[in-house]
Amino acid sequence: MRHGGAYPEDVSSASPGAAGVDPSVPAGVVELVGLAAYTELAEFGLLAARSVDAPTLAARQALADGAARALTRQHALLALVTDGSADAAAVVVAPFDGAFVDFDMRTRTDVWAEGLLKGVVGHGVAQDFCRTLAVGVQGHVGTSLRTVLERPAPGREAEAAAGADAEAVRLLDEVAAADEVLASRLALWGRRVVGEALSLVTTFVDARPHLTALAGDSARTLGVDADPRAWLVSRLTAEHTRRMDRLRLAA
């Protein structure tokens, strides 16, 4: 059931009746899918760039495979609300074109491992954000969206539609285990990246009424009685702490 119509039922404001976009999907959901799909394209770029300058052939291959999986997931997301055509995909993703430029500028680094961690943390926060907003999406699209965005089960990270980060996480773990100084540096870097990522997320929520409404829906679905914005940040921060623990880096 819906929760008091917290997000409007109109078709996507970015694409009123755009060819190839499912007109039965609410605009807020199209927007969320667009953000999630853009996030995967950005993740492709981050992993691919770290593949190109990877120090070993094994890392190069592993990160290329991860980047390809990010695109597989992107196409799975877009198929939820479009007919799968490139034109329809472009309409859904276009509103987020350039959305990460500021984040990217503020977290520039020439250190390979820092670039890798930036991808894992930035993409991790963006995915947790999308997953959290998907909680409140009703009906068939909501179920499918949550399935596609699901965190892969342990040991199944390398499957086609699974997360793209598995190899990056493994490589970072190796790097941190081998070099204590670099590990401390990465822990510090992780705090900087997550700060920028959380600030970007709140900017998104503030600037996009559909996403604000979805955050409210999610909070209500989970029985949370708090300001959705504050709740969202604390939830994403907690997920980030778990992520850094998995990397054995202090959050």
| Binding of a second copy by 148 (CB under 8 A) | no
- Mask for 52-81, x = binds a second copy (CB under 8 A): x----xx-xxx-xx-xx--xx---------
Q: Find the binder of a second copy among 3, 22, 48, 246 (CB under 8 A).
A: 48
What DSSP character marks residue 2?
-
Q: Which SS3 state, helix, strand or coil, does residue 49 take?
A: helix
Decide whether 9 or 97 has the Cβ nearer to a second copy: 97
- Is the distance from CB of 197 to CB of 159 less than 8 angstroms? no
Decide whether 65 or 173 has the Cβ nearer to a second copy: 65
| Binding of a second copy by 251 (CB under 8 A) | no
Q: Find the binder of a second copy among 51, 127, 212, 218 (CB under 8 A).
A: 51
| Binding of a second copy by 187 (CB under 8 A) | no
Rounded to the nearest whole angstrom, what is the least distance from the CB of residue 191 to a second copy in the complex? 26
| Binding of a second copy by 44 (CB under 8 A) | yes
DSSP per position, 175-241: HHHH-HHHHHHHHHHHHHHHHHHHHHHHHHHHH-HHHHHHHHHHHHHTT--S-HHHHHHHHHHHHHH
Decide whether 43 or 217 has the Cβ nearer to a second copy: 43
Rounded to the nearest whole angstrom, what is the least distance from the CB of residue 43 to a second copy in the complex? 10
Q: 22 burial class (0-12, 13-18, 19+ CB within 10 angstroms)?
A: middle
- Is the distance from CB of 2 to CB of 138 less than 8 angstroms? yes
Q: Find the binder of a second copy among 9, 10, 83, 97 (CB under 8 A).
A: 97
Chain Cα centroid distance, residue 251: 19
Q: Which stretch binds a second copy (CB under 8 A): 5-13, 15-23, 27-35, 87-95?
A: 87-95
Rounded to the nearest whole angstrom, what is the least distance from the CB of residue 40 to a second copy in the complex? 10
| Binding of a second copy by 13 (CB under 8 A) | no
The vertex-41 CA angle with 39 and 46, nearest 5°, equals 90
Rounded to the nearest whole angstrom, what is the least distance from the CB of residue 119 to a second copy in the complex? 12
Could you give the dihedral angle defined by the CA atoms of residues 209, 212, 216 and 217, in that order, rounded to the nearest 10 degrees? 70
